Chain A
């Protein structure tokens, strides 16, 4: 990469369409693994009813940031303000307790169990004589609220499509009544129709007044559902954009750190794909076996 990096470390502007002040604020978050600085002085704000897209190239620190927020890796430095309190997130359980739910890319569903059992896994009602009636009623109501297209909550998860599984995973994270929900590449392994289904779902999460942090690689999706786009590059903030104003090429420039990059050169070629659909290749971490199941 011979071109000049774009120096746009902008301080995070107040979130635009959010209701009230930020619900979750990160200030100066740093995290190193040995000699590798995965995150350096990262700041981020998300408000209730706001969809924040977190974008960046492979190795930009998106996953590390998600893990910091979900309590998998506590940060080395920096503060996390949740609501109006400064908090620490030492463990996944602590994150859930605070009201930060994370849906990881691999969903972590048990295929041999049905939808209700998966939703309530590890927190079944009445442990010594399961209250499956209440669990089934609540599950059905929750999925209906999300307008999920799941035929029966008593089907094993193995019988569901990729989009339906994503819905189940998101619904499960909602059971704890979180304030902020983090979706790690929710559409990475999905087909066209299923992607649309999940994007609708994200909009309904916003309508419920949740703060949504969505990690994504697809500029089209980011533009479609996000309110704000935060770009990470090499473990640092590299700009916060308003999703309705920013163009895809601006975002790509911020992601790659160059106005002249492989994506823009491709876009400039005759008969090249329009920039709106110019999507970086899927992440190296995406497991090719995790294609949508039939």
Chain B
């Protein structure tokens, strides 16, 4: 139980760039491996899992890694991925939202009714659906904050209630088709980034990564803080350029990169910035880690919870709108079936802790790629949803088991 015995090896276990530590790739590698052994797994397991899944699926069916299938896979991932982004937000503050599927289905129904039946312009219908979602998130937060009802129960009620509302709004027809020539449908189905623009965006992204990395490193060096070496930002930027460049080239052999996927990436980056570089983001991690400490530090915990719930339901509605656009229809099963559980599973598989205070926006991206890869691969093998559910369930169990094991290991290494 005594700390001093373990204290001497702390510096070695710390992040790269300790005080007075010589920076360098070997040092960074050693620090990374120490972090892994200490139970700070980060995105390593999900990336490894993705590689395994892709390898197995490719061996079973050579079409899996074809440009055409990957283009589809990217587009299919977006609706659930956007919903998973919202789930990351509530999980981070130590809450849960079980109603993301129902809320996404409800907003799809609202969109379709207003846009098709009432003839409102697309922007108005989308805004109305999003506003309704904001109101739902606000309502959850009020019930949770004021009455102290656990979010599990509030959102379970929401799951049922808003599914009912969705069915009621859709009426006896039960299904509304969106016109194929509408902007929503063409955006989700037909709009791809022209190759020159895709390459330009990749180059701009790599350049921006280098510029910010270089600027931060020099700022830290000027301030006398440990900083990564001059090479690090360049190496990272080059890796991004080559990796994304290859991906874009490969997808461009088919239809290319869908604008919808670009929208998803933009949302991921926006949420990542919000979580890591703003006061609000730190408040979310603090509330998830120790709500009482956050309150004493002057953070308005209830406001943070409200924001997290509103972010979640709004992103769920966005996912629902994108799903309806991609399907060109809203029906009684919109947001039903496995959408709910896939979104939550994606966030958890990507490395967001169910215990709060741990996770990142990239968890949603990586997690949804895992889930959609399983789904796409099994569909290519003509295996129906029975197998899909079983495999996804196994992967989810594996991910949570890994999270729990990592948590124990962190506790053993004093990093709980």
A interface, CB within 8 angstroms of B: 92-93, 96, 104, 106-113, 117, 121-124, 127-130, 133-134, 136-137, 140, 151-152, 154-156, 158-164, 191, 193-194, 291-294
Contacts and interface: CB of A to CB of B under 8 A. Distances in A.
B3 A294 contact: yes
B297 A108 contact: yes
12 contacts: A106-B292, A110-B285, A110-B294, A113-B286, A121-B282, A122-B286, A134-B223, A151-B10, A151-B11, A155-B10, A158-B415, A162-B3
A293 B14 contact: no
Contacts of A134: 223
A122 B1 CA distance: 32
Given A130-B282, A154-B15, 12 more contacts: A108-B293, A108-B296, A113-B286, A113-B289, A121-B294, A122-B299, A137-B223, A137-B225, A152-B14, A152-B15, A291-B1, A293-B3
A136 B289 contact: no
Given A129-B278, A155-B14, A294 B288 contact: no
Contacts of A160: 414
Contacts of A104: 296
Interface string B4-48: 101100110111011100000000000000000000000000000
A134 B224 CA distance: 11
Contacts of A121: 282, 286, 293-294, 297, 299
Given A109-B293, A130-B278, A294-B6, A122 B283 contact: yes
A210 to B, nearest CB: 20
If over half of A's interface residues share one DSSP class (helix, strand or loop), that class is named, otherwise mixed; here it is loop
B358 A112 contact: yes
B231 interface: no
Contact of B298 (A93, A109, A193): A93
A103 to B, nearest CB: 10
B172 interface: no
Interface string B114-151: 00000000000000000000000000000000000000
Contact of B415 (A124, A127, A154, A156): A156
Contacts of B279: 124, 127-128, 130
B219 interface: yes
From A93, A161, A162, name the one whose CB has the most chain B CB atoms within 10 angstroms: A161
Interface in B214-240: 216, 219-220, 223-225
Given A130-B278, A151-B14, A152-B15, A111 B416 contact: yes
Contact of B357 (A92, A93, A110, A123): A110
Interface in B221-273: 223-225
A152 B18 contact: yes
A152 B415 CA distance: 13
A176 to B, nearest CB: 10
Contacts of A293: 1, 3, 414
**Shortest 5 CB-CB distances between A and B: which pairs?**
A161-B3, A127-B279, A122-B297, A112-B289, A108-B293
Given A113-B282, A158-B410, A159-B10, A294 B299 contact: no
Contact of B296 (A92, A127, A156, A162): A92
B182 interface: no
A112 B288 contact: yes
Contacts of B410: 158
A111 B2 contact: no
Contact of A158 (B225, B297, B416): B416
Contacts of B358: 112
B278 A128 contact: yes
Contacts of B379: none
A294 B1 contact: yes
A250 to B, nearest CB: 34
Contacts of A191: 2-3
A137 B415 CA distance: 23
Contact of B293 (A110, A158, A194): A110
Interface string B291-307: 01110111100000000
Nearest to A137: B223
Given A122-B299, A158-B416, A292 B1 contact: yes
From A127, A137, A162, name the one whose CB has the most chain B CB atoms within 10 angstroms: A127
Nearest to A70: B296
Contacts of A112: 285, 288-290, 357-358
A127 B280 contact: yes
A122 B13 CA distance: 28
B298 A152 contact: no
Contact of A154 (B14, B283, B286, B289): B14
A184 B285 CA distance: 26
A133 B280 contact: no
A133 B220 contact: yes
B277 interface: yes
A293 B277 CA distance: 30
A86 B103 CA distance: 55
B232 to A, nearest CB: 16
Contact of A152 (B19, B216, B290, B293): B19
B56 to A, nearest CB: 34
From B6, B13, B279, B280, name the one whose CB has the most chain A CB atoms within 10 angstroms: B279
A118 B24 CA distance: 28
Contacts of B11: 151-152
A164 B15 CA distance: 18
Contacts of B220: 133
A108 B298 CA distance: 12
Contacts of A124: 279, 282
A293 B225 CA distance: 29
A133 B219 contact: yes
